Structure 1
């Protein structure tokens, strides 16, 4: 099984058509069909169901496609990293939580890279829970997380700052004139939140349950900008980090008594492999904290 075969397969899946795929790959259609049949023989199962005028993936083909795409992404990343290594640059793989780190990470990135131009950041944005998993599996070197609880003994960390979620509405919203200090006062206001697997949303839902309230969540989105835009348009209310909320004059924000301050921490798995760029970054974090 070769990378070329995988690329052929993924391209055929892209178009669901051998002729179009062959045109993009600059090979003949019979040559492409032969390559796919050879791949199926090697796999031991059919990748496509072939009909007179169309092809569709089999269930096994769908599973194989996910693996093939993952393999090709890894290969392209290796190619990119090899070029950086050839240029004597080093890559730090850093994960970033989308909410609460927006004010911290850009300054951190700019300050570090201005002093260490030979080092490159490869940034992944994900939920805090997923970032911890990627730290555990070695997919990331560091993760910038926001959490009420500090990391446990399996992780080393540097506290970068603190952040608090604020309940936000448009200044034209009727709640903007109220003195909101509790979840119970939110009532059935339509809310837009990050997906339910995000630790922030899990935390907020727990607070609603403890207050014996059912939140009126009208939409989930993984984009903080989408939450902000809904509040700006008065289409829904939402929770934003204080850094974001206080930068937008058209928003009215409230600090709810149930919502605690969270710590912004740069975490790393204890015992993980270390190389000079990691040591440099750790030293920079520690120095920045002292300043």
Structure 2
């Protein structure tokens, strides 16, 4: 028996539904069903009657529920009593991509900490690397470009959508163009973010689909370095329009055909969700990203 199993069981009791409990706890329905079966097997009990559209507790289930609720309440009180000071609280570990961090971080985390007084540790990783760290539970949650193939493996929430633009200096030979196609970038030196970036993988795929071998001048992890190379006039770079829209000393050129990406947060499925992560997810869902949205 684990506290997570008790949490899942009690949620089903409160909602009278595995589906609604799974939605509330951000886990999959099979995860909750398996936990309940394991409890029934361990204690040799039948906990629920399963009806057509509703489940209800058996007599043994009612008694088990009372005990489980008491255990969870005592656990929460223990956590509250000994985790009030910042020194005793584990920080919420958040991964952020180098480029997206400039859009509305640290405003988000500053406001979250002000509201909840929960300590935070920020780690800068590309979306692909951050995803593996969420898998291994080295990160609690990650802000990510959500254009990877197995997104449904994670709990996730989409915050915004953005489009790619190609950025060059005002002296670049393409500075006067009204659009950029992949074919125009044949032999053109470009700066890309590191290979753990979903954006970089997307750009390389688009170039190769057009029969273009990418002429990558440099793979980089820092937006400042990318912009310095762009300003030099020798290279161009793909950025998101919400970043390029800020007053800059370079030109942003629409990409044709248009490339868009969705951004949001991901966190691991099938594990106990700590209180600080639940608060962060709720906070993000209520956060107003309108000032950062590009005109798509």
What is the TM-score normalised by the length of structure 2? Answer: 0.64
2-side partners of 1:206 and 1:276: how far apart? 39
> What is the correspondence of 1:170-209 to structure 2 with a 5 Å cutoff?
170-209=169-208
**What's the counterpart of residue 248 of structure 2?**
249
Which string of whole-angstrom CA distances, capped at 9 and with x for unpartnered residues, describes residues 195-228 of structure 1? 2343222211110111111222122212121111
Q: What do you get for the CA RMSD once the two structures are aligned? A: 2.5
Matched residue of 1:134: which SS?
Answer: helix
User: 1:128: Cα distance to partner?
Assistant: 0.9
2-side partners of 1:259 and 1:130: how far apart? 26
**In the alignment, is the contact (CA less than 8 A) between 2:157 and 2:266 conserved in 1?**
yes
Instruction: Say if 2:136 is the partner of 1:124.
Output: no
User: 1:124: Cα distance to partner?
Assistant: 1.0
Structure 2 gaps of 5+ residues are: 1-82, 291-296
2-side partners of 1:288 and 1:86: how far apart? 24
2-side partners of 1:120 and 1:253: how far apart? 37
**What's the counterpart of residue 227 of structure 1?**
226
User: 1:145: Cα distance to partner?
Assistant: 0.0
**What's the counterpart of residue 166 of structure 1?**
165
User: 1:240: Cα distance to partner?
Assistant: 1.5
**What's the counterpart of residue 102 of structure 1?**
102
1-side partners of 2:228 and 2:143: how far apart? 25
> What is the correspondence of 1:1-291 to structure 2 with a 5 Å cutoff?
87-116=87-116, 118-149=117-148, 152-288=151-287
CA gap 1:151/1:157 in 2 versus in 1, 3 angstroms: farther
User: 1:170: Cα distance to partner?
Assistant: 0.3
CA gap 1:258/1:281 in 2 versus in 1, 3 angstroms: same
User: 1:272: Cα distance to partner?
Assistant: 2.2
2-side partners of 1:181 and 1:205: how far apart? 15
User: 1:161: Cα distance to partner?
Assistant: 1.3
User: 1:259: Cα distance to partner?
Assistant: 4.4
CA gap 1:254/1:124 in 2 versus in 1, 3 angstroms: same
1-side partners of 2:86 and 2:168: how far apart? 51
CA gap 1:140/1:218 in 2 versus in 1, 3 angstroms: same
What is the TM-score normalised by the length of structure 1? Answer: 0.65
**In the alignment, is the contact (CA less than 8 A) between 2:126 and 2:197 conserved in 1?**
yes
1-side partners of 2:210 and 2:147: how far apart? 18
User: 1:275: Cα distance to partner?
Assistant: 2.1
User: 1:132: Cα distance to partner?
Assistant: 0.8
CA gap 1:146/1:126 in 2 versus in 1, 3 angstroms: same
Please list every run of at least 4 consecutive aligned residues from structure 1 whose deviation after the TM superposition is greater than 6 angstroms: none
Matched residue of 1:172: which SS?
Answer: coil
**In the alignment, is the contact (CA less than 8 A) between 2:159 and 2:289 conserved in 1?**
no
- 84-93 or 141-150, which deviates more: 84-93
